[in-house]
Amino acid sequence: MTYVVEARRVKAYYITHAYGVKRTVKAVDDISLQIKEGEVFGVAGESGCGKSTLLKVLLGHLESPLTVVEGSVQYNLDGHPVDVLSMTEREKRSLRWRQVSYIPQGSMHVLNPVRRIRDTFHDFISAHRPVSKSESLEMARAYLNTLGLPDKVLAAYPHQLSGGMRQRVTIALATILWPKLIFADEPTTALDVVVQRGVIQLLKEIQQKEGSTLVLITHDMGVHANLANRVAVLYAGKVVEEADTHSVLKAPLHPYTQYLIRSLPSLDERSERVSIPGTPPTLDNPPTGCRFHPRCPFVMDICRTVDPEMSSVRDGHRVACHLITERADYATTA
């Protein structure tokens, strides 16, 4: 099987030197992922675990002090494999937006405050295609209509729109050239629950209409439950579990994923919400062995010294935890 995106054993660190002291933040530490064509691939995990950094690496968007110290990222669009980390700026520019699109974290604040939305659409479209102002306006109007968004927003300035509408406009802008691959970083996070639903619906529609692949980053497991086909759970710069969304939600195997799921609000409120004990580690000096071991209720001696490798438990369900290999009964009783 070929994958649209394939990351192999990637290590990406923030390496800084201040007053002669070198500091290395291991934000992405040995991550491998295989993303299939047409799927919604979710990336979950607490604040600071490396989600946005992973996305920057998958985009080949590396700015100092972020450095890839090992590993590779490959795209397979149109059957042409490309090595993302060795692309020139020009090659990246030619892929960006037409084939690969990016909705950055906090993106509803990126719209130019002194330009009407229609001018921003024109600036964007004309940067990639030779279009007149009236052609770009027509494209924008038609696209907003397809997505069920009111085209009167085109005449507005960003501050005249609600936060939820601004976010929907940003998503429409980022996807108007029908990219095959869309990366979205916390697209619903700053929004209240009712507005979130509209944004989730919009992303679903765009992804389904074109069969594009969506890589969706959010700490909100509820959003993954609604949108993602598969989910990878990150903890302190590493993937600790990866499976189809149903298995992650209903039969999580890693103790960290189990905490994440149990800390979700449940509608019936019969089960008590559980918070995760302790705090996430700092990534410039992460714990030895399994990085979750200081917070893990099932910690064993081996966890303090040996970093567990990802292993396959069932078809497509992978987890990095010594309980799986050391305790034969674990996967069946968890």
Interface contacts to ligand ATP, rule CB under 6 A: 14, 25, 27, 45, 47-53, 65, 105, 219, 283
CB 98 within 8 A of CB 180: no
CB of 301 to ligand ATP, least distance (A): 28
CB of 293 to Mg ion, least distance (A): 24
- Binding of residue 74 to Mg ion (CB under 5 A): no
CB of 105 to Mg ion, least distance (A): 5
Position among 24, 32, 34, 52 found at the interface with Mg ion (CB under 5 A)? 52
Q: Which does 74 bind (CB under 5 to 8 A by kind): Mg ion, ligand ATP, none?
A: none
CB 28 within 8 A of CB 12: yes
CB of 104 to Mg ion, least distance (A): 9
Is 14 or 157 the residue whose CB approaches ligand ATP more closely? Answer: 14
CB burial readout 188-219, b (16+ within 10 A) else e: bebbeeebbebbbebbeebbeeeebbbbbbbb
Q: Which amino acid is at 25?
A: V
238-244 vs 230-235, strand pairing mode = antiparallel
Token readout for 32 is 């491998």
Give the per-residue contact string, 2-41, with Mg ion (x = CB under 5 A; - = no). ----------------------------------------
Token readout for 75 is 């795209």
Residue carrying the six token digits 């299939």: 36
Gap between the Cα atoms of 241 and 225, Å rounded: 16
Q: Which does 65 bind (CB under 5 to 8 A by kind): ligand ATP, Mg ion, none?
A: ligand ATP
CB of 189 to Mg ion, least distance (A): 9
Residue carrying the six token digits 């034969």: 328
Q: Is 82 exposed, middle or buried (0-12, 13-18, 19+ CB in 10 A)?
A: middle
Give the per-residue contact string, 88-117, with Mg ion (x = CB under 5 A; - = no). -----------------x------------
CB of 199 to ligand ATP, least distance (A): 17
Is 51 or 322 the residue whose CB approaches Mg ion more closely? Answer: 51
With contacts defined by CB under 5 A, name the span among 45-53, 169-177, 219-227, 263-271 that binds Mg ion: 45-53
Sequence-distant (≥ 6) Cβ neighbours of residue 195 within 8 angstroms: 162, 163, 164, 167
CA dihedral of 7, 11, 17, 21, whole degrees rounded to 10: 170
Gap between the Cα atoms of 9 and 262, Å rounded: 30
DSSP 219-254: S-HHHHHHH-SEEEEEETTEEEEEEEHHHHHHS--S
- Binding of residue 189 to Mg ion (CB under 5 A): no
Is 27 or 165 the residue whose CB approaches ligand ATP more closely? Answer: 27
Give the three-class secondary structure for 169. helix
H helices present in 67-150, as ranges? 89-95, 117-128, 133-146
Is 107 or 258 the residue whose CB approaches Mg ion more closely? Answer: 107
CB of 65 to ligand ATP, least distance (A): 5
CB of 63 to ligand ATP, least distance (A): 8
- Binding of residue 201 to Mg ion (CB under 5 A): no
Is 186 or 322 the residue whose CB approaches ligand ATP more closely? Answer: 186
Residue nearest to Mg ion (CB): 52
With contacts defined by CB under 5 A, name the span among 32-40, 52-60, 70-78, 293-301 that binds Mg ion: 52-60
- Binding of residue 76 to Mg ion (CB under 5 A): no
Residues at the contact surface with Mg ion, assessed by CB under 5 A:
51-52, 105
